[in-house]
Structure 1
Amino acid sequence: MPSAMSPHWPAHLSSKLTVPATNLFYNAEVSAARFPDKPFLSFYGKAVTFAQFKDQAVHMAGFLQRRCGIAAGERVIIFMQNCPQWAIAFYAALRANAVVVPVNPMNTTEELRHYIEDSGARAIFVAQELFPRLQPLLNEGVLAPEQCIVVTYSDYLSDEPETVPPEFVLAPRHRVDSRVPAWSDALAARLSPGALLAGPNDLCVIPYTSGTTGKPKGCMHTHYSVMCTAVGGAQWFASSQDVVQLAVLPLFHVTGMQGGMNAPLYNGATVVMLARWDRDAAASAIERHRIAGWHAMSTMVVDFLSNPRLGDYDISSLRWMRGGGAAMPEALANKLKEKLGVGYIEGYGMSETIAATHFNPAHRPKPQCLGIPVFDVDARIVDPATLVEIPRGETGEIVICAPQVMQGYWRNPEATREVFVEIDGRWFLRTGDLGRVDEEGYYFMTDRLKRMINVSGYKVWPAEVEAQLYHHPLIQEACVIATRDSRRGETVKALVVLDARRSEEVRAEDIIDWARTCMASYKVPRIVEFVGSLPKSASGKVLWRQLQDAETSRESTHADDSVSRA
C-alpha cells in the first residue's frame, strides 16, 4: 500500500506540491524581473546579478543556436569546475531548447569520449585547464572544434578577489586552439536565440550514473522532474530570497545542481560559489557574506571542523548544513552540533530521481537516517525477489514512484526495463538499496542490493573499474571491492591476479599510478592486493560477494581488536 505520511511531517507544508508547468529557464526570467540588481552568484567576491545572469544565458543560447548549430533536443555537455559560467551554460542550453549533459571534471579523455558518443552531444562547454583532455577527441572528429566553447575562470574574477582562488582559477585566458571559440568571444557576439519552445515534458538534463555492467548510463529528466526537486527542496526548508548560501558541492552532481543552483535561482536567493573545496575560503565566505548554510559531504565537515584557524572566523550566521549521498557519522554530527550549534539534515536521492525523494524534517531529524518521503513520493519496502511489500521494521529493497523519477536511461531500453517494476498498476523505480521503515515512517538504509562503492558520496561501480584494469598488460584477472576508509567512508580496493610469467615486473604502486591515467581519481583503487587466484562459481563467475564479505569481516575483527586493546 502507498507510504503513509509520517506523523512528523512539517506542519507548515501541504503533502502535495504544485509544480510550475514551465521550462526551467522561466525561473531565470522571473528572478531577473523581480530582483534585477541583486547578486545571484558571487565568485571570490565578483558578483553576477540576476539580470546579468539571464542576459548572458540568453546571448550564449544565441551563440549555441546560430554559431554551433544546436537544434531543439540536442545535447550540450558541460565539462568544468564550479564557476558562474557553469550555471550560465546550463541555462543557456535550456534557452536554446537543448538538453544538458553534466560531466564530472575528473573524467579522463576516454571517459569523456563515452559521454560525447553515448549522448550524441553536438556541443561542449569546457574549462581551459581541461581542454587537453578534449583535444584528442577534436582531432579525431568526435566533436567539431566550432562546437566547443572554452571557459576561462578568471574572466569572472575581480581585480582583488576576497580570498586567494586556486591557481587554475587565477590562470589568465589564452588561446588553446585557433579553431575553438572562447567564452568571452561568444558573449561578445551578442547573438539572440529563437523562440523558447521546450515545455515541462521535454528533456532538460541527462546526468550520467555508472552501472553494474560498466559503462555509465544517462538518466533522462524533463523540465518537470527537475522542477519537482528544485521547488520541493526550497519549500521543505522554508527557504526565501533573502537566504545567502554556500555552493561547494560540484554542480555536475544532482545534489549540487539542485541545491546549489536550481533551487536558489527559483527562490531568488544568493549563492556564494567556490570552484573547489577550501576550508579557509569557506569560513571566510561565511563570515563576509553572513551565509546561513550549505550542502556538505561528511568529508567536508570533518575538514571544516578540524581547521585549527576556525576560531579566527565569525561564522555565527551559520544555521544549517544539509546533505546526502553518504551517511553522516553520528559522532561527527554530534561534534558539529556541539562546536557550532548547527544540526546536519540528511536526505536520500539518486541521479535517477534528480536529488531527494526523502528528507529528514528539520524540526525532528534522526541520525544516519534517510528521512521521510517528501511531496507526492510513494516509497515502499519490498522483498527483492518477489516484490511483495513487507512489514515495517523488516529489511527489503526501497522502491519509489514519484514525479521526480527519470523517464528512463538514455538509449538503453534494456537497462530501463530492468530498473522499473509495476506494482498496483504503477511503475516503481528499483533503487537497489536495502532499507527499513520505523514506526514513525522514517527510512533507514541497511545495505545495498546493487554492487556499488560509495566514495565520499561518489558512486563507484566495481565492474567499470575492473573493465579498465583489464586493459593493463600484466593484469590477468581483477576483482574490485569496497574497504573502509576513515576519511571517505569507503574506498576502492582491487584484488589482482598478475600474469605469472611477468609478475615481478610490477608493484601495487605501479598499478595505482597507471589507473590514475585512465580513470577519474575517485575511481582509482587506493589499495591493490596481489592474489594467486580469485574464487569462482561453477559457471566461472568471480564470487565478488565472498571477497567483499571476507573484507568486511576482516575490518570488523580489526575494529574489535582495537576496542579490546583500548
Structure 2
Amino acid sequence: MTEAKPAAEPRLDGLLSEAARRHGDRTAIRAGSAEPTFAELDAAATRWAAAVRRLVGTTDTVVALVSPLSPDFAAAFHGIVRSGNVVAPLNPLQRADELRHLLGVTRARLAVVTPPVRAELAAIRPSFPHLTEIVGLDEEWPWDEPPEDVPLGDVACLHFTSGTTGPAKAAVLTHRNLLVNAAQVAEAHRLGPESVVLNHLPKYHLMHLNSALYAAATQVLCTDPDPVEAVGTANRHRATHFYSIPMRLVRLAADERLPELSLRTARMIASGGSALPAPAAETLRSRLGVPVIQGYGLAEASPLTHSDGPDRPRPGSVGPPLRDTECRIVAPDTGAVLPPGEAGEVQVRGPQVMRGYLHDPAPVDAEGWLSTGDIGRLDEGGRLYLVDRIKDVFKCDNYLVSPSEVERALRAHPDVADCAVFDHPDPVGGAVCAAFLVAAETAQDVPGAFARRVLAEVNARLPYYQHIRLADVVDAVPRSANGKLQRRSLRDAFIRRRASAPPRHGGTAVSGTGQSAPEVSRQVVAITKFTVKGDAAEFEQAFREHAEFMRARPGFQRAQMVRSARTPEVYINLGWWRDAPSYLAVLESGEFRGHLGRFAELADVEPQMGPVLFGLDPEQP
C-alpha cells in the first residue's frame, strides 16, 4: 500500500504503550466483568502483533477486524498496527453482501473475527482468494515478545464511511492523522488520567478508543441500548463524560423516568453522528444539570473536526474547529468561499484529514481541503451550524429544501414520536417533501387522520416549498447501526409503496397502510401564485410572453390569470392541460426553465397545489 520505512515518527500503537508505561495498573476498559489494566491491554496487543506478523508474513498488509465494542477489539486493533500492518475495522452487524463489498475493497489477507462472524465469512471465503486466513478474536497466542525491526508504513487504518449516501468507501488514515486527532479530542473534551468515559454508542469509533488511550482515561462500554440504563451505569462507574448518539438522547429526553434521574459525576454529555434537536438538548441540560455539547466529524477526518465546549455550549452548533483545523463554506456549484451566515458546502482542512479514499484521492484537493458533502453555515465567531447532507438537500421550485429542517418541525409536534423526510419527484416543483411518520402514544386518531392532522398543523408553520405533501404512518423508522437515516433507501421504499399514487386534491396525500391511492382522471390544472417583487408592468409583459409560449404547446387547453384586489402584488394563474404527459413535457423543456428563471427575478413563484388531477376520489368527502 505504501513504501515501508524504518519507524522514525510516533506510531499509533504508541498511545497504548505510553499509557501502560505511565499508568500501567490503572483500568483501561470496563466491559461487564472484563476490566483489563493498561499494562494488560498493552501485553495483549503485543501478543496480537507477534501472531499477525507470523500469520501474514509481511508488513503493510490489510487485516480486517470484524468485532463489536470490547477490550479484545482494542487489543487486536493496536496489535495489528504494532505488527506493521494496516487495520480495517468492519461492522459485524453488516449483511453478507455488505461484508463482501468491504472485503473486496480492502483485499484483506487476514480477518480477525468474533465466533458468530467466522461461520459467515467461511461461507463466502471462496469469493476472495486473497483472504488467506480467518482467525477468532478469542484466540490465545503464546508469543509475548513484539516482532523485531518492524518497518512502519505511513498508513495505519482503513476506516469505512457509513455508506448512507452510497457504497461505503475506505478512508486512508495515517499514523499522524489518528495520533493528532486523539490529542485534539482529549484537549477539546478535557480528558485526563482521572477521567472516566461512558461510551454509549452502537459502534466502536476510533475517536473514543484513541482519545481515551491518549489521556490514559478509563473507558466504560455500555452496550445496553436503553439510555436510562446507561445513566445508571454512568453513576455506578462515576463517569465524568457521557458519550451517546442523538437517537438515544432524544429517547432519554422523552422518557417519563427522566425527572427521577441524575448524572452525579458527569461533567458533560456529548452527542455526535447527526444533529441533536435543540429541544432535547435543552431538556437534558435542565433536568440533569449537565452541559450537552455536540461535535462534528466524519470518517475521512479521523474523525473529529469540530466540538463545542462544556463551558458555554451553543444550542444548534457543533462548535468551532479543533486546534490546527480550518473550516470554510463554499458554494456547491462554483466553489466560491461564502461569508458568515450563508449556507453552502462545508470544507475542512487539518492534520487529521485523510490522505484520500483507497484507490481515489479526489475528495482532498491540492491545498488539503476536504469537501465533506455536508451543508452548513458559519457564524461570525467561526462556529459551525449544520443544515443537511448535500446529497439529501433538494430543490423545490428552485428553493433549497433541507429534510433535516423539516424533520425538526415534525419532531416538535407532541404527537410525533419519530419521522424521516426525503424528496419525492413532483412534476411542478421538481421534488417535494415526503415523510414516514411514527405516532406517539398521545396520538388517538387513526393513521390516516393522524397524518392529515399533523401535516396540516406542521405545514402551517413552514414556507410552502417545505410543505410535506405525502406521508405514510409506520411503526418505526429504520436506521443504520450507528443511528443514521439512510434517506436514499427510505425514498426508494416510499416510492415503491406508492408507485401508482398520483398527487391528490390540495397537493397532500397521506396513508396509514402504505396502499396506493385510487386512479383519477387525467386532466391537469396547474395553479401558481406569483408575488411580484418589483414593477408590475414588467412582470405582466414577461407573463404575456410566457403565455404565448405555453399556448403553442401540445396539450394546452386554456389559462386564466387573476390579480388580488386586496393584495395587488399577488397574481394567481390557472393553466388547464389535456393530460399529465403533455404538461410534464413542457416542464422538462429548456425554454420553460428559461421563463421560470426570468419569473424568479421578478416575483416569488409558488405553485400552490402542484397539478390538481380532477376526478372522483372515493377517500375525499
Regarding TM over 0.5, the answer is yes
What residue number does 2:155 align with?
A: 203
Q: Do the aligned residues in 1 keep the contact of 2:374 with 2:390 (CA within 8 Å)?
A: yes
Give, in whole Å, the separation in 2 of the partners of 1:324 and 1:521: 11
Q: Which residue of 1 aligns with 2:369?
A: 428
SS in 2 for 1:46: coil
Indicate conservation of the 8 Å contact 1:212/1:451, yes or no.
Answer: no
Question: Does structure 2 conserve the Cα–Cα contact (< 8 Å) formed by 1:283 and 1:310?
Answer: no
Letter in 2 for 1:420: V
Pick from 8, 14, 38 the counterpart of residue 50 of structure 1.
38
For 1:329 and 1:521, the matched residues in 2 are separated by: 14
Change (3 A) 1:316 1:116: same
TM-score (norm 1): 0.68
What is the match of residue 342 of structure 2?
394
How is 1:303-452 mapped onto 2 (pairs within 5 angstroms)? Answer: 303-307=251-255, 315-412=263-360, 416-417=361-362, 419-422=363-366, 426-451=367-392
Q: Does 1:292 align with 2:278?
A: no
> 1:458-477, aligned counterparts within 5 Å?
none
Partner amino acid, structure 1, of 2:263: I
- Shift of the alpha carbon at 1:313? 6.7
Query: Secondary structure of the residue that 1:325 maps to in structure 2?
Result: coil
1:125 aligns with 2:88: no
Distance 2:354 2:52 in 1: 26
**Matching residue of 2:200:** 248
What residue is the counterpart of 1:137 in the other structure? 124
Matched, 1:77 2:68: no
> Relative to structure 1, is the Cα distance of residues 236 and 86 closer, same or farther in structure 2, using a 3 angstrom cutoff?
same
Residues 1:227 and 2:193 are matched in the alignment: no
* 1:430 maps to amino acid: S
Give the counterpart letter for 2:238 in structure 1: R
Instruction: Find the residue that maps to 2:356 and give its secondary structure.
Output: coil
Partner of 1:194: 147
- C-alpha contact 1:383 1:389 (8 A) present in aligned 2: yes
CA distance in 2, matches of 1:203, 1:351: 15
Q: Which amino acid counterpart does residue 32 of structure 2 have in structure 1?
A: Y
Is 308-317 or 268-277 further displaced after alignment?
308-317
Does the CA-based 8 Å contact 2:53-2:59 persist in structure 1? no
Segments of 5+ residues of structure 1 without an aligned counterpart are 1-19, 152-182, 463-478, 488-507, 540-552, 555-566
Return the offset for 1:223.
0.7
Decide whether the 8 Å contact of 1:25 with 1:91 is kept in 2.
yes
Report Cα offsets for 1:183-223 as digits up to 9, x if no partner. 23x33x22544236455x71111111256984321110101
Cα 1:41/1:353, change in 2 over 3 Å: same
Q: Give SS of 1:133's match.
A: helix
Paired with 1:84 and 1:31, the residues of 2 have a C-alpha distance of 15
Deviation at 1:293, TM superposition (A): 1.6
1:241-275: CA deviation from partner (whole Å, max 9, x where unpaired):
011111222444xxx321x2111111111111134
**CA pair 383-266 structure 1, distance change in 2 beyond 3 A:** same
Can you list the C-alpha shifts for 1:473-502, whole angstroms capped at 9, x where unaligned?
A: xxxxxx999846679xxxxxxxxxxxxxxx
**Cα distance, 1:281 vs. partner?**
4.1
- Does residue 217 (structure 1) correspond to residue 189 (structure 2)? The answer is no
1:7-60 CA-to-partner distances (Å, cap 9, x unmatched) read: xxxxxxxxxxxxx94101111111111111111011113210101000001001
SS in 2 for 1:48: coil
What SS is found at the alignment partner of 2:56? coil
Quick one: higher RCO (CA 8 Å, sep 6+), 1 or 2? 1
Counterpart AA for 1:530: R
Out of 1, 14, 23, which is 1:35 matched to? 23
1:39–1:47: 8 Å Cα contact kept in structure 2? yes
Task: Say if 1:47 and 1:211 are closer, same or farther in 2 by CA, change over 3 A.
Answer: closer
2:63 is the alignment partner of 1:115: no
- Distance of aligned partners of 1:326 and 1:111 in 2 relative to their CA distance in 1, 3 Å threshold: same
Amino acid at match of 1:32: A
CA distance in 2, matches of 1:421, 1:411: 15
Q: State the distance in 2 between where 1:434 and 1:533 align.
A: 32
Q: Name the stretch that deviates more: 35-44 or 315-324.
A: 315-324
Per-residue deviation, residues 493-520 of structure 1 (Å, max 9, x unmatched): xxxxxxxxxxxxxxx99xx9xx99xxx9
Q: Answer yes or no: is 1:529 the counterpart of 2:497.
A: yes
Cα distance in 2 between the residues matched to 1:480 and 1:208? 32
CA distance in 2, matches of 1:219, 1:122: 18
The one-letter code of the counterpart of 2:88 is: V
Q: Contact (CA 8 Å) 1:63, 1:192: kept in 2 or not?
A: no
Deviations 1:364-420 (A, max 9, x none): 2111112111211121112222212122222222112211111011013xxx32x23
Q: 1:484 to 1:429 in 2, by over 3 A?
A: farther
Aligned pair partner of 1:257 in 193, 198, 206: 206
1:202 to 1:273, Cα distance in 2 relative to 1, 3 A:
same
Aligned to 1:90: 77
2:104 is aligned with 1:100: no
Contact 1:330/1:367 (<8 A) preserved: yes
- Supply the distance in 1 between the matched residues of 2:30 and 2:147 (Cα, whole angstroms): 29
- For residues 126 and 253 of structure 2, the distance between their equivalents in structure 1, rounded to whole angstroms, comes to 46
* Cα pair distance change 1:211/1:38, threshold 3 Å: closer
User: Aligned AA for 2:94?
Assistant: N
**Residue 267 of structure 1 aligns to which amino acid in structure 2?**
A
Against the structure 1 CA distance between its residues 309 and 449, is the aligned structure 2 distance closer, same or farther, given a 3 Å change threshold? closer
Change (3 A) 1:57 1:437: same
- Seen in structure 2, the aligned counterparts of structure 1 residues 85 and 196 have a Cα distance that, compared at 3 Å, is farther
CA shift in 2, pair 1:485/1:82, >3 Å: farther
Q: Which amino acid aligns with 1:404?
A: Q
What's the CA shift for 1:530? 2.9
C-alpha RMSD of the superposition: 3.8
**1:106–1:521 contact (8 Å) kept in structure 2:** no
- Matched residue, 1:22: 10
Which one-letter code corresponds to 1:22 in the other structure? P
> Quick check: 2:118–2:134 contact (8 Å CA) kept in 1?
no
Is the aligned partner of 1:301 residue 2:249? yes
Q: Secondary structure at the match of 1:420?
A: coil
- Cα pair distance change 1:263/1:211, threshold 3 Å: closer
Q: State the alpha-carbon separation in 2 of the partners of residues 149 and 114 from structure 1.
A: 20
Q: Which has the larger radius of gyration?
A: 2
After superposition, the Cα gap between the structure-2 partners of 1:224 and 1:141, relative to the gap in structure 1 and judged at 3 Å, is closer
d(CA) in 1 for partners of 2:271, 2:177: 20
Give 1:319 shift. Answer: 2.0
Superposition deviation, residue 277 in structure 1 = 2.6
Report the 3-state secondary structure (helix = DSSP H, G, I; strand = E; otherwise coil) of the residue aligned with 1:226. Answer: helix
SS of aligned partner of 2:369: strand
Question: Partners in 1 of 2:48 and 2:241 — Cα distance?
Answer: 31
Q: Is the 8 A contact 1:63 1:193 kept in 2?
A: no
Q: Give the fraction of aligned pairs with identical amino acids, expressed as a percent.
A: 27
Over 3 Å counting, the alpha-carbon distance change for 1:61 and 1:250 in structure 2 is farther
For the Cα contact (< 8 Å) 1:249–1:295, is it kept in 2? yes
The amino acid across from 2:329 in the alignment is: I
Partners of 2:321 and 2:263 in 1: CA distance? 32
Compared CA separation, residues 447 and 302, structure 1 to 2 (3 A): closer
2:354 and 2:32 map into 1 onto residues whose CA distance is: 35
Q: Which amino acid aligns with 1:39?
A: T
The Cα shift of 1:149 comes to: 1.9
Query: Relative to structure 1, is the Cα distance of residues 211 and 42 closer, same or farther in structure 2, using a 3 angstrom cutoff?
Result: closer
Distance 1:34 1:133, change over 3 A: same
Residue ranges of structure 2 left out of the alignment (5+ in a row): 1-7, 394-402, 409-419, 423-430, 440-471, 503-583, 590-607, 610-621
Structure 2 match to 1:62: 50
